[in-house]
Structure 1
Amino acid sequence: MSCHLQKSAFPPIYVGVVFLGFIPEHRCLSPGVAEVSSKCGWSLEEELNHTVPEWGNHEKSLTSQCWRYNMDWNMTGLSCTSPLENFTSHNSQSRVPLMHCEDGWVYNSSGTSIVTEFNLVCEDSWKLDLFQSCVNAGFFVGSISIGYIADRFGRKLCLLITILINSISGILMAFAPSYTWMVIFRLIQGLVSKGGWLTGYILIAEFVGLKYRRTVGIVYQAAFSVGLLVLAAVAYAIPHWRWLQLAVTLPNFFFLLYYWCLPESPRWLIAQKKNDKAMKVINRIAKGNGKKLPSSFQSLIPEEEDGEKHNPSFLDLVRTPQIRKHTFILMYTW
C-alpha cells in the first residue's frame, strides 16, 4: 500500500506541464495604451479593437498575440474614435507598421504559470516544449541507470534515494530564479522519478507470488489515476505555479518514512546471498499476515556459498532465450 501511495505522486511530474505551463490568452504590452484607454473611457473590447492588430477579425491569431502597432500612444491629438487613422494621416504609409512585443505581454489570467512568468510565447514558445522534453529525456536515462542501481545496491535504498532527490529538486524548482535553473531541476526530477516508479513496482512484485502479482500491478497503476484526479483538484485550488509546485512536492518527504516501515525485497536479499536477512523479512511478513511458515520453508532457500556474488549486467537482459524474448517484447511495446 505504501508503494501505491508513492505512485500517486508521479502525475505532477508526468503531466504537470498541463497546469505549470498553462498558456492564457495574451497580447503585446503597448506603453501608453492604458492611459489613452482611461482618457477616452474605452471598454476592454474597444481598447483591444483599437490597439491590437487584427483583434476584431482574428482573435487568436499570431498577429494579435506576437505583434503590436509601432506607434507612440503618448502622442498628443489622438482621436478616441479612430486613433490609427490619426496616426496614418501624418505618415506616407497607408498602414500602421508592426513591431515585436519588445515591452512584454499582457496575460488574461488571474493565476500564473511558467509561461506568464518567463514569457514562453511567440519566439520563445519552443522553450515550453523543451521544458517537457527534458523530463522525458530524464525518464529515458533514469529508467536504464536506476534499474541497474536497484539491482546492484537494493530496491529499498534505490527507492529512498530517488524519493529524496525528487523531493529536493522539486522544492528547488519552485524557487528557481530563472528559466534555465527551472529546466535543470525538472531534468533531475525526470532522471529519478520514473526510475523510482519502476523500483517501487519491482519491490511490490517481489513481495507477492505469481497469484497476486497481476492484482498488485493493477492497483499500482490505479494509484496513478487517483493522483491525476488529486492533481487536477489541487491545481484548480492553487492557480499560481510556484505554490502549486510546492503543494505537490512537499508530501513526497513523507515517503522517506519508508526507511522504517518498508523492508527490503527478500528475493533480492536471497540473490545477494543474505539469507539471514531474507528470513527475517519473510518471518515479519508472515507474522503480519497471521501465518506461520512451514518447517520445510528453509530448505527452499539455496544455501549460502563462498563464491563471488553475481553482479547485475545489462547483458542479463539477453542472456537466455526466454529473457531475450521478454526484453524484445517489452521494448517493442514501449
Structure 2
Amino acid sequence: MKQTFFVLCLLSAAFTPVYVGVVFFGFTPEHRCFSPGVAELSQRCGWTLVEQLNHTVPEWDSHGAAYSSRCSRYEVDWNATGVSCTDPLGSLVGNRSSVPLGPCQDGWVYDYPGTSIVTEFNLVCEDSWKLDLFQSSVNVGFFIGSMIIGYIADRFGRKLCLLITVLINSVSGVLVAFAPSYTWTVIFRLIQGLVSKGGWLTGYVLTAEFVGLSFRRTVGIIYQLAFTVGLLILTAVAYVLPYWRWLQLAVTLPNFFFLLYHWCLPESPRWLITQKQNDKAMEVIKRIAKGNKKQLPSSFQNLKSEDENGEKLKPSYLDLVRTPQIRKHTFILMYSW
C-alpha cells in the first residue's frame, strides 16, 4: 500500500510544470527595441552597455526615476556617416528633445542568456496579452477536463482514466516542446490542460479510496505536499536549463514512465464494488492486506461473487445535487474554489 501511495505522489509532483510552469516558460526579461546600426556604432565608439543605452534608448521619467523604453525607439539612421560618439543624437537631429519615436519594427533585444516563449515569439508590448492567453488556455483546459475526466473515472474506472490522461499529457507535452509557432503552442498547451488536472484529481481519488476514513486527511495532505516537492524540483531544473524547449522536454519525458502504472497500480476496490465486480475487488483487497501483513476482517467475507448480479451504480452529474448533504458539500466546494 505504501508503494502504491508513493507512485501516486510521483504523479502529483510531476503535475507542477503544467500548473505553474508559465513562470519559467513565459519568463519576460528586460528588453528594448532592436535598432539597426547601434551595435556597430557602439563597437566603433567603444561604448559600455550603459553608455550605449544612455545614447540610443529613449527614456521616460516616473516619480523621479528614469526607465529605458521597452516599446519605442528613436527614429534615426544609426548607420549614417559622421555620427558623433559623444553626442550621437545631437549630431543626427540637433535637438535631442525633438527626436521622433517609433515602434519596434525590427524586433527586440532581450537581456537574458536563455530563451522563453516570450523571447522566441516576441510576446511583449502590444503582443504581451498573448502570454496571458498561453496560461489561460491551460486554465480553460483545467475547467473543462476536471468535469469530463471525473465522469470518465466514475464510468470506466480510475486506473484506465489515469493511464489515458498520462498518455495524452505526455504526448501533448512533447508536442509543446516542438511546436513550430505560437498558435500550435497554445493548442497543445490547451490539450495538456484538458487532461493533466483531471489526471491529478484521479490520482487524488485513488489515494483516498485506498485507505480508510481515518487516514484520508493525512494521505491527502501528503499528496499535495508532493506537489510542493515537484515545485522545488522544477525550480532547480529551470535553473540548469534556461531554454524553454529543453526545459519542457526535461519535465515532460519522465511522465512516460507513469504508463508503467498499468502493471504496478491496482484499480480502486471501492470503484470495483460499485460496479459489482466483487471478485476483482477481493483480489485487490487481499493483495493490499498481504503487502501490509494484515489479516482481512471477517466483514469482507460478505463480498460474495453472487452479489455481482445486482445493478451497477451509474455516475451522473445530478449526483452532485441529488441529496441535501451532497448538495451542501458541492456548493461549499464550488464557493471555496
Q: Are positions 1:38 and 2:43 aligned together?
A: yes
8 Å CA contact 2:107, 2:122 repeated in 1: yes
Aligned to 1:24: 29
Asked if 1:130 corresponds to 2:124, the answer is no
Q: Closer, same or farther in 2 for the Cα pair 1:60/1:144, shift >3 Å?
A: farther
Task: Measure how far apart 1:87 and its partner are.
Answer: 1.6
1:318 corresponds in structure 2 to 321
Take 1:271 and 1:94, find their aligned partners in 2: how far apart are those partners?
77
Change (3 A) 1:322 1:300: farther
The answer on 1:259 being equivalent to 2:256 is no
Change (3 A) 1:276 1:72: same
Query: 1:209 corresponds to which letter in structure 2?
Result: G
The answer for the alignment partner of 1:181 in structure 2 is 184
Equivalent residue in structure 1 for 2:332, among 319, 329, 332? 329
Equivalent residues in 2 for 1:183-198, closer than 5 Å = 183-198=186-201
Deviations 1:7-38 (A, max 9, x none): 00111111111111111111100001111111
Q: Deviations over 1:151-203 (max 9, x none)?
A: 00000000011111111111110111100010111111111111001100111
Could you list the runs of 4 or more consecutive aligned residues of structure 1 that deviate by over 2 angstroms after TM superposition?
55-61, 300-310
Please tell me the residue identity of whatever aligns with 2:290: K
1:8 aligned to which of 7, 13, 20: 13
Does structure 1 conserve the Cα–Cα contact (< 8 Å) formed by 2:276 and 2:309? Answer: no
| Distance in 1 between residues matched to 2:286 and 2:50, nearest whole Å | 73
In structure 2, C-alpha distance between the alignment counterparts of 1:59 and 1:125, rounded to whole Å:
22
Are 2:217 and 1:214 equivalent residues in the alignment? yes
Q: 1:134 touches 1:187 (CA, 8 Å); kept in 2?
A: yes
Query: What amino acid is the match of 1:147?
Result: G
CA contact (8 A) 2:30 2:112 kept: yes
Code of the aligned partner of 1:208: V
Q: Distance in 2 between matches of 1:146 and 1:276?
A: 26
Q: Report whether the alignment pairs 1:155 with 2:158.
A: yes
Matched, 1:75 2:45: no
Tell me the alpha carbon deviations over residues 61-104 of structure 1, each in whole angstroms, 9 at most, x when there is no partner: 5xx10101111111111111111111223x9x961111100100
Any conservation in 2 of the 1:7–1:197 contact (CA below 8 Å)?
A: yes
2:101 is equivalent to residue 101 of structure 1: no
Tell me, in whole angstroms, the C-alpha distance in 2 between the residues paired with 1:296 and 1:112.
Answer: 60
Q: Aligned in 2, Cα 1:58/1:180: closer, same or farther, shift over 3 Å?
A: farther
Determine the structure 1 residue equivalent to 2:241: 238
Structure 2 stretches lacking a partner, 5+ long: 1-5
Confirm or deny: 8 A CA contact 1:48 1:55 kept in the other structure: no
CA RMSD in angstroms comes to 1.7
SS in 1 for 2:98: coil
SS at match of 1:106: strand
**What TM-score results when the alignment is normalised by the length of structure 1?**
0.95
Mapped to 2, the partners of 1:305 and 1:288 lie a distance apart of 26
Q: Is the 8 A contact 1:88 1:94 kept in 2?
A: no
**Structure 2: distance between partners of 1:327 and 1:283:** 34
